[in-house]
Amino acid sequence: MNLFSISQLSQFSGIKPHTIRIWEQRYNAFKPNRSEGNTRYYSGNQLRRLLNIVTLLDNGHKVSSLCSMSDEVLYLMVSNLNTSELSDSTEYFVSQLIAAGINYDTNYFELIFSDCVSKLGIKNAYIKVIYPMMERIGLLWATDSLPNGHEHFISNMIRQKLLAFLNSLDAPDPSSESWVLFLPENEFHEIGLIYAQLVIRLLGKKVIYLGSNLSIDSVIPVIDQMKPQYLLLFLVHYDLPEQIQKSLDKLASSFNGTKIYLAGNQKLIEQINLNVNTEYLQSVESLAAVINSGTKLNTYTNI
């Protein structure tokens, strides 16, 4: 049985730890386990209970009533929600996709995703639901917020959806600007990079997607042959800053395009001296602004 801290419950549900404690104490909403040091730990069932409460709360129910209900009643109420009559908020979809992932429930994940696409359209489903979901549970930058099994399950479900959507897009205009996307050596967490590819493709640009774990020496011939305007790479795995610096300097000296964008581990990237043609992109969401403006951004939306 996986156990979650109150900070993880807060992260996954969007409810502050203080509020979770109030619901626990005032309404007996949860029954946490406790460690020898008296630290609260919650089961996967209790996390799903919280996600169901948040879903129903967002659709007009009172928290005092919800917290007194059994898990079975809460689940039945969520199951009976008519998605065509939901509030404009996307909390229902975000919370229930996380709940499906926590329970390794492929069928429920598929059902919620299909309802999401039906209500919002496929493009908004990714922008307004899948991206916030990945952001909330830390999948974009591989923050180790989730237990390993849950992370792999949810990552693979989302990966399948992202790739299916990418494959359905029309080919970009051959004359449009091009981007090369890759992960350097020892980087394997592709979800953020795949989503970035989707953002770029939706804006009509060409993408040369190289994938994960590439040495700079293997990327340089691609740059020489394809002459892209932009490069985008993610740095998630913590490596020695001086080693990263050496690799980036080599990459920058071989690139004659407009800009190299870095995304990922902020603490690591802040220890690197960025070249004049290299910029830190603090959010995948900011990609659209970068592409549309064609200029350097001074501020970013944090993830």
Question: Residue 88: which of 117, 109, 59 has the closest Cα?
Answer: 59
The residue that leads in pLDDT, 146 or 108, is 108
Would you say the C-alpha torsion 106, 112, 118, 120 has a positive or negative sign?
negative
pLDDT digits (tens, 9 = 90+) for 49-96: 999 999 998 888 999 999 999 999 999 999 888 776 676 778 899 999
- Rounded to whole angstroms, the Cα distance separating 87 from 91 reads 9
Would you say the C-alpha torsion 46, 49, 53, 59 has a positive or negative sign?
positive
* Res. 26: pLDDT tops 50: yes
* Res. 260: pLDDT tops 90: yes
* Res. 264: pLDDT tops 60: yes
**pLDDT band per the 50, 70, 90 thresholds, residue 144:** low
Give the pLDDT score at 3: 83
Query: What mean pLDDT comes out for the span 95-108?
Result: 93
Query: What mean pLDDT comes out for the span 233-255?
Result: 87
pTM comes to 0.78
Backbone angles phi, psi at 263, to 5 degrees: -140, 160
Query: What mean pLDDT comes out for the span 18-25?
Result: 95
**pLDDT band per the 50, 70, 90 thresholds, residue 191:** confident
Percent of the chain with pLDDT over 70: 91
**pLDDT band per the 50, 70, 90 thresholds, residue 297:** very low
* Res. 145: pLDDT tops 90: no
Report yes or no: 223 and 253 within 8 Å, Cβ to Cβ. Answer: no
Query: What mean pLDDT comes out for the span 201-210?
Result: 94
Would you say the C-alpha torsion 193, 198, 199, 201 has a positive or negative sign?
positive
- Rounded to whole angstroms, the Cα distance separating 111 from 123 reads 17
Q: Indicate the burial class of 46 (C-beta count within 10 angstroms; 0-12, 13-18, 19 or more).
A: buried
Domains of the chain are 3-166 (no CATH), 170-293 (3.40.50.280)
Query: What mean pLDDT comes out for the span 250-270?
Result: 88
pLDDT digits (tens, 9 = 90+) for 134-143: 888 877 655 5
Mean pLDDT, the chain, whole residue set:
86
Give the pLDDT score at 300: 32
pLDDT digits (tens, 9 = 90+) for 157-190: 999 999 999 999 999 999 999 999 999 998 888 8
- CA 4 to centroid of chain Cα atoms: 19
Tell me if residue 168 falls in helix, strand or coil. Answer: helix
